[in-house]
């Protein structure tokens, strides 16, 4: 085994960590990292031993965090998707649409649907929360709910009915 300085990882340990963060099992990551095992059950045991090393655990956490940060949606992306849901029109929904819902019945017939009114209301509420428009002031919230109801041309709902729709 190559010598390491001050808890530095060997190249094999780095490769192992990358494979584990990508989702491979202990054994598969061990084997893909260039380590040799006579049997896959031994590869899993040896992989677990590598993973128990403090410097390896630290490196894996750093990798997981960087992968999470890369995959996390920005506030702008979230608000854009919520706006798409809220503004969706049935004629604009295609199978490629990220907000489409495709269902197949028992006979293999496909049905494509867009967001329902409740989905649109929830999207508007979530976007309002992200933007800070919804505050603890209930009178302000009621005005916003009324504006949404007017815009969607649905009968006026009080706060209790809106909470029921959300559930």
Query: Over the stretch 139-164, which tens digit does the pLDDT of each residue have?
Result: 656 666 666 666 665 544 555 554 44
Q: What is the pLDDT of residue 167?
A: 47
Q: Same structural domain for residues 101 and 22?
A: no
Domain that holds residue 96: 75-166
Q: Same structural domain for residues 80 and 52?
A: no
Q: Same structural domain for residues 58 and 112?
A: no
Q: What average pLDDT is seen over the chain?
A: 79
Q: Which two tokens stand for residue 87?
A: 């503004």
Instruction: Identify the CA nearest to 47 among candidates 28, 23, 22.
Output: 28
Q: Same structural domain for residues 88 and 56?
A: no
Q: Same structural domain for residues 93 and 160?
A: yes
Q: What is the pLDDT of residue 56?
A: 94
Q: Same structural domain for residues 104 and 124?
A: yes
Instruction: Identify the CA nearest to 55 among candidates 2, 1, 17.
Output: 17
Helix/strand/coil for 41? helix
Q: How many structural domains is the chain composed of? A: 2
Q: Same structural domain for residues 64 and 50?
A: yes
Can you tell me which residue has the tokens 């559930």?
167
Please list the residues that pair with 101 across neighbouring strands.
Answer: 113
Evaluate whether residue 4 is within a structural domain.
Answer: no
Average pLDDT over residues 39-49: 86
Q: Same structural domain for residues 53 and 23?
A: yes
Q: Same structural domain for residues 35 and 84?
A: no
pTM of the shown model: 0.44
């Amino acid at each position: 085994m190559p010598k390491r300085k001050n808890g530095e990882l060997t190249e094999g340990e780095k490769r192992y960590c990358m494979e584990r963060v990508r989702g491979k099992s202990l054994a598969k990551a061990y084997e893909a990292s260039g380590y040799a095992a006579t049997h896959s059950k031994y590869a899993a045991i040896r992989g677990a031993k590598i993973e128990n090393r403090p410097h390896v655990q630290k490196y894996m956490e750093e990798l997981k965090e960087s992968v999470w940060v890369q995959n996390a949606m920005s506030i702008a992306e979230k608000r854009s998707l919520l706006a798409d849901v809220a503004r969706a029109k049935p004629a604009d929904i295609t199978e490629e649409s990220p907000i489409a819902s495709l269902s197949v019945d028992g006979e293999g017939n496909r049905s494509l649907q867009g967001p329902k009114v409740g989905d649109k209301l929830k999207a508007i509420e979530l976007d309002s929360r992200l933007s800070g428009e919804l505050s603890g002031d209930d009178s302000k919230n009621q005005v916003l709910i009324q504006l949404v109801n007017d815009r969607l041309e649905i009968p006026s709902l009080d706060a209790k009915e809106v909470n029921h729709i959300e559930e």
